[in-house]
Chain A
Amino acid sequence: MTPLLDVQNLSKNYGQRIGCKDVSFDLYPGEVMGIVGESGSGKSTLLNCLAGHLEPDSGKVLFDTKTDGLKDTVTMSEPERRMLGRTDWAFVHQHARDGLRMGVSAGGNVGERLMAVGARHYGDIRAQAADWLGRVEIREDRIDDRPTAFSGGMQQRLQIARNLVTGPRLVFMDEPTGGLDVSVQARLLDMIRELVRDLGLSAIIVTHDLAVVRLLADRLMVMKDGHVVETGLTDQVLDDPQHSYSQLLVSSVLQV
């Protein structure tokens, strides 16, 4: 089987400081990969290199494109990469403000990706937007409200709806539950888990919260100082961590 994503020796430095170093892994369709580590471990740098927001210094990010099969997204042209960004990929930011248009209604936010790929029937776009708002548990009568009128949890759910509406094949998530209240986090996690299962999504989730990966990820990478120190099945890594740093990480949080 062809992997959806094949990452080879990806490195990114900030001057003398290492962002991430020699990272390689595969991701298969329908798989969810969790990347954990403390802040500064390089996990966000890695995610941004994978999603095309940052240019890595070396290495390859091969993505299984619909037309040409595996293709290096680092060297592909910007139009191609931006096209992937609004069709096959989705990116859920930690702060919903970064991923939403705050001056545009909820319906417009969800509809934007549809219109970007050519949808031109207002009624259909609005119906799809309403459907997606329902799936992320936002009442349909809020469709004309702007995200500024939404709570933090609602904004995050709106961001997810906006990203998933065009049926992306790969979703990048950067601390999707960060900055939310614990009760709100739990509800959001449940929702993401159901969406991932129902839609058979492939995803890469960066988080420092082991509860998130326990619930969502099939496999896990543990990062420290820009290096991947341990990889494996989520349960394996969490229940029987091999690397001393992973042990420290696992023991330092309450078991879930």
Chain B
Amino acid sequence: MYVAVKGGEKAIDAAHDWLGEVRRGDPDIAELSLAQIREQMTLAVDRVMSEGSLFDPDLAALAIKQSRGDLIEAIFLIRAYRTTLPRFGASHPVETDTMQCQRRISATFKDVPGGQILGPTFDYTHRLLDFKLAAEGNAPDTSTQDAPDLAAERKPHVMEFLNKDGLIESAEATDETPPDLTREPLELPANRALRLQNLTRADEGFLLGLAYSTQRGYARNHAFVGELRIGKVAVEMDIPELGFSIEIGEMTVTECETVNQFKGSKTEPPQFTRGYGLVFGQCERKAISMALVDRALRWKELGEDFAGAPAQDEEFVLSHSDNIQATGFLEHIKLPHYVDFQSELELIRSIRTAATAALAETKIAAE
């Protein structure tokens, strides 16, 4: 009987035990190590770090293992852990100019100073199942590769070239402290910094769908990938005791800048505009989607029309982008609701009784 939701203590314990068993799977198969997940499931680790808003590959690997590979569940574990961490301070903004790029491409120029680097990408692979991978123990042949020179030579952003010619809207740096939605409730309307924070934590699939919808004409903004770069950046922080800033570590990020068409408005001559995406780890699809959605959300400041497209609707996008909020609320309908259902049951019975009586009356009257 479903009534057994009562007396839940035992049920919960049994369920947790069972979960542990299923998580492990067949004990004759070797157990996954965190190092294996961290090294061989890197893109899953990256996604968990970016949407979990915590750069820590080992913890992300643990979360993936614990969640049986359910990445949203893993992100949830990371978020719940992250929220308990004390906050010592804030880093300086990272300088993506000095990124040690392992990948750097521009779709808008044939070549760019600093060079294009294809890097480890699926882009030009043929999507054929590689049965060689099914046989374990084949280490890839690395002898033919030149070790890429990743020295931190400054690689200027492609957008700067357009900026010099005044062809693209300028994006001035400010010293303004950006809002932080992990410390303040989301208040609308949001400024761009807050929107970007929301988008970088947003669900990849949700952003992908929204970005795709802009390409298909729901608030089309003609995006070109001005530059996509992936690589390591240094994280620097002021240490009050020292009186100067030091590098506390480095992390991999993906940055995407799009160049978008702009017809000009009542105040601005025609020029290119920008969309921006920045996420932890190697998350290209997410970074590009983020840039497209960022651009679509900027319609008001650019004096464009609201076309009624979902991707333009700040309140819609920002309120529904977080997969932890979404999945929690969605799945909570599994919880017992029998008290509410009971009251609905009585209501519907009473309405039906009234309606049946009224129907009978009209029948009698008709006869």
A residues with a Cβ closer than 8 A to B are 14-17
> Nearest CB to that of B303 among chain A residues?
A15
Q: List 7 A-B contacts (CB under 8 A).
A: A14-B266, A15-B265, A15-B266, A15-B267, A15-B303, A16-B266, A17-B266
Q: Which of B166-218 contact A (CB under 8 A)?
A: none
Contacts of B267 in A (CB 8 A): 15
B residues with a Cβ closer than 8 A to A are 265-267, 303
Contacts of A15 in B (CB 8 A): 265-267, 303
Complex-state Cα separation, A17 to B303, whole angstroms: 14
Contacts of B265 in A (CB 8 A): 15
A14, A15, A17 — which one has the most chain B CB atoms within 10 A of its CB? A15
Complex-state Cα separation, A16 to B266, whole angstroms: 7
Complex-state Cα separation, A104 to B265, whole angstroms: 39
Q: Which 5 A-B pairs have the closest CB atoms?
A: A15-B266, A16-B266, A15-B267, A14-B266, A15-B265
Contacts of A16 in B (CB 8 A): 266
Contacts of A17 in B (CB 8 A): 266
Complex-state Cα separation, A217 to B265, whole angstroms: 38
Complex-state Cα separation, A17 to B265, whole angstroms: 12
Complex-state Cα separation, A216 to B266, whole angstroms: 38
Contacts of B303 in A (CB 8 A): 15
Complex-state Cα separation, A14 to B265, whole angstroms: 11
> Nearest CB to that of B268 among chain A residues?
A15
From residue B176, how far is it (CB to closest CB) to chain A in Å?
Answer: 27
From residue A204, how far is it (CB to closest CB) to chain B in Å?
Answer: 28
Complex-state Cα separation, A205 to B208, whole angstroms: 48
> Nearest CB to that of A16 among chain B residues?
B266
From residue B362, how far is it (CB to closest CB) to chain A in Å?
Answer: 14
Complex-state Cα separation, A153 to B266, whole angstroms: 38
From residue B354, how far is it (CB to closest CB) to chain A in Å?
Answer: 15
From residue A64, how far is it (CB to closest CB) to chain B in Å?
Answer: 35
Contacts of B266 in A (CB 8 A): 14-17
Complex-state Cα separation, A16 to B303, whole angstroms: 13
B265, B266, B267 — which one has the most chain A CB atoms within 10 A of its CB? B266
From residue A43, how far is it (CB to closest CB) to chain B in Å?
Answer: 21
Contacts of A14 in B (CB 8 A): 266
Complex-state Cα separation, A14 to B303, whole angstroms: 11
From residue B269, how far is it (CB to closest CB) to chain A in Å?
Answer: 12
From residue A33, how far is it (CB to closest CB) to chain B in Å?
Answer: 30
Complex-state Cα separation, A141 to B267, whole angstroms: 54
Complex-state Cα separation, A15 to B303, whole angstroms: 10
> Nearest CB to that of B265 among chain A residues?
A15
From residue B303, how far is it (CB to closest CB) to chain A in Å?
Answer: 8
Complex-state Cα separation, A250 to B265, whole angstroms: 36
Complex-state Cα separation, A16 to B265, whole angstroms: 10
> Nearest CB to that of A14 among chain B residues?
B266
From residue A122, how far is it (CB to closest CB) to chain B in Å?
Answer: 16
> Nearest CB to that of A15 among chain B residues?
B266
Complex-state Cα separation, A15 to B302, whole angstroms: 13
Complex-state Cα separation, A14 to B266, whole angstroms: 8
Complex-state Cα separation, A154 to B267, whole angstroms: 43
> Nearest CB to that of B266 among chain A residues?
A15
From residue A14, how far is it (CB to closest CB) to chain B in Å?
Answer: 6
Complex-state Cα separation, A108 to B238, whole angstroms: 62
Complex-state Cα separation, A17 to B267, whole angstroms: 11
From residue A186, how far is it (CB to closest CB) to chain B in Å?
Answer: 35
Complex-state Cα separation, A14 to B305, whole angstroms: 13
Complex-state Cα separation, A221 to B321, whole angstroms: 51
> Nearest CB to that of B267 among chain A residues?
A15
From residue B282, how far is it (CB to closest CB) to chain A in Å?
Answer: 43
Complex-state Cα separation, A133 to B265, whole angstroms: 46
Complex-state Cα separation, A132 to B282, whole angstroms: 65
> Nearest CB to that of A13 among chain B residues?
B266
From residue A98, how far is it (CB to closest CB) to chain B in Å?
Answer: 14
From residue A54, how far is it (CB to closest CB) to chain B in Å?
Answer: 15
Complex-state Cα separation, A22 to B303, whole angstroms: 25
From residue B90, how far is it (CB to closest CB) to chain A in Å?
Answer: 37
From residue A236, how far is it (CB to closest CB) to chain B in Å?
Answer: 38
